[in-house]
Structure formats: C-alpha cells, structure tokens
Amino acid sequence: MKKILILSAHPDIEKSKACSAMLNAVKGLDNVKVIDIYKVPLKVENYIDDVKHADVLVFQFPFWWGSAPAMLKNWLDTFMLGFLENPGMKGKSLLIATAAGVSEEDYHPGGAEQFTVDEILRPYQVTAIYSGMTYLKPFVLYGTMTPDAEQRICKGAKDYKSLIETL
C-alpha cells in the first residue's frame, strides 16, 4: 500500500465546502496523511520526514484565478529545490486535486475559462518532470458553485476517496 501525503492548500478550509469534503472523505485512511500548509509553518523539519516517506504527493487546493492559492507556490519555492536532493523526489508520484467553481464544459478553448484544465495545470506537470516524479492525471471536482453544487461535491468527495484508495 502506497503512502500518500496530501498537502492541503486552502487558506480557510473550515469555510470550504468542496475542499473540506474531499479531505473528510480520505481522513482515516491508514496510508494517508494530511498536512494543512496554512497551519504548519514552512520549516524543513515540519515536512522532511513526511515527504521522505511518501510515495505519492497530492497538492490539494481550490482553483483560484486559474491557479492555486499563493501558499502552495510559496511551499514549492521554499522546499522543492532542497527536496530534489534530500529526501529526493525521483520515483514519487504527484497528483493535483482541485475544486473548480464552474462546470467541466467551461474548460476548453473558446469556453468561459478559455483553456483546458491540463493547460492551466501545466506548471505542476513541469515540476513533476523536472524533479523526476510521475505526474498523475489531475482530479478535478467541477461545479462547486453551480446550482447543483451540493450533489456534485458529495459525488466528487466519494470519487476522490476512491481514487486515493486505488493509488
């Protein structure tokens, strides 16, 4: 069973419906550890052991302005170069798990968002390639601000748990 480290990057997870539902769905899984990077200071000693022992890193965040909240970028800038060498990222997998307010149909050329999710997430793929990680197909919970958001979030949290269990 692979060890999974989820780095939660939501500045106010208690008020989040989608990201908190995703985290609640995987809490209690034996092979999963969640770290809220907004609550754990950005010091190497707070992350090194968990990153070292993880087989899969999950960056979980809400889609904001076509990206992740700034704290995730800060985490990457603070740790990735050092983690390339110690404990080493090569051979680990990277999964992006995000929640988007609009529907999947809005993410295409000419659509409301103008780009596909894969295009928007390309910098994370580059990070994985550069560091020797395997980039996994992103998990996106769409429609978290649509009229049927509650149903979408409920289904999405279950789908997220199923994915995490199969990694």
The second-level CATH assignment, the architecture, of 4-166 is: 3-Layer(aba) Sandwich (3.40)
State residue 86's pLDDT score: 65
Is-contact 123 77, C-beta < 8 A? no
Phi, psi of 122 (to 5 degrees): -50, -40
Going by C-alpha positions, the residue among 159, 166, 136, 167 that lies closest to residue 25 is: 159
- Where do the domains of the chain lie? 4-166
pLDDT (average), residues 107-126 = 91
State residue 113's pLDDT score: 86
Other C-beta atoms within 10 Å of 34: how many? 17
Tens-digit pLDDT profile for residues 70-106: 999 999 988 887 776 666 788 999 999 999 999 898 9
Residue 134 pLDDT grade (very low, low, confident, very high; cuts 50, 70, 90)? very high
Could you tell me the two tokens for 136? Answer: 């996994």
For residue 135, CA distances in Å to 79, 125, 139, 144, 152 come to 18, 6, 12, 25, 25
